[in-house]
Structure formats: C-alpha cells, structure tokens
Amino acid sequence: MSTAPRPGRHVPPMPERNPKALRAAISEHTPQLLADFDAHWKWAIADAYDLAPVPAFLAQWWAEFAIARDPELDRQVHGLEARAADASTNDEAMHLLTRAAHLRREAGKAEPGQ
C-alpha cells in the first residue's frame, strides 16, 4: 500500500514545513480542514507560553493535509477507519486500523515539494 500519488493524478505539493505555510496550503487546497486547524491552533498553541507543542501540532496537521490533498488516499484511509468502526470482531477492527495507521504514518513522511 503506497501513499505516493499515482502518475497522472494532480495532487498539490506539500508546502514548506512550518505552520504558516501549512495553514496557507490547507486554506487553498483543503479548506474543509481549515476551521479544525485554526481551532486546534488556538487551543493548543496560540495562547501558550511554551512552544514545545508546536512540533507535535505540525506533525499531526502535516499528515492530515498530506492525506486530504489526495482524494484517493483520503477515501482509502477513511474507508479503512469506517470499516473498522463496523467490524464484527476486535481482530478485524485492529487489522483495519493498523492499515489506516500505516497509511497515516507514510503520509506524514511527505517532504516539502512532494
């Protein structure tokens, strides 16, 4: 299972790896994520006196954008998660969630410009 976009599909490139560039890319390419991004930023970072949470925030939203910018990958990840929610056994649910988590991890490895 690869998270690399297939040839011939237009997937917006990843931005520079900083919150401002990521927010701009989300706003332009995946605006459905913007309200959640802004709310999470305000809650976790904006009023903080400590910037230690910024790397974790950036990692989470980096992966979210990497998935959402690619409709096929987005459908695949959310489809696995939905199937896990409806699974008839814990083993089946764990298998599906493990596959979705793998795709999320791989998406989070995308580099700027990819």
**CB–CB of 13/113 below 8 Å?**
yes
The values of phi and psi at residue 48, to 5°, are -85, 150
**CB–CB of 65/30 below 8 Å?**
yes
Stated as kind and residue range, the H or E segment containing 87 is none
Instruction: Check residue 8 and give its pLDDT.
Output: 63
Stated pTM of the model? 0.87
Which residues have a Cβ under 8 Å from the Cβ of 96 and sit 6 or more positions away?
80, 81, 83, 84, 87
Instruction: Check residue 5 and give its pLDDT.
Output: 53
pLDDT at 105 over 60: yes
Using one digit for the tens of pLDDT, what is the confidence trace for 62-84?
999 999 999 999 999 999 999 99
**CB–CB of 58/22 below 8 Å?**
yes
